[in-house]
């Protein structure tokens, strides 16, 4: 499965969906290259969490996946 939109059930307030890692054509520095990519989706209850906060969390997760050494350096 490349990606999905997960459904949260009470009392859950959020769920992170992670698709499979696949090779895809990707533009890097103006050149076409094959890169391993995955789809991340975050479903959350807007009554509990603000969209900006959720987006910040998803950005943190994506950054951690793209550059795990930077996360380990912060520990």
Output the furthest CA–CA distance in the chain (Å, rounded): 46
Q: Which residues are catalytic?
A: 46, 50
User: What is the signed CA dihedral for 44, 46, 48, 50, rounded to 10 degrees?
Assistant: 100
* Helix H or strand E segment including 58: helix 51-66
């Amino acid at each position: 499965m490349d990606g999905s939109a997960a459904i949260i059930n009470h009392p859950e307030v959020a769920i992170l969906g992670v698709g499979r890692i696949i090779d895809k054509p990707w533009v890097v520095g103006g050149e076409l290259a094959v890169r391993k990519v995955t789809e991340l989706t975050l479903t959350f209850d807007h009554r509990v969490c603000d969209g900006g906060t959720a987006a910040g969390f998803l950005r943190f997760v994506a950054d951690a996946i793209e550059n795990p050494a930077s996360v380990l350096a912060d520990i």
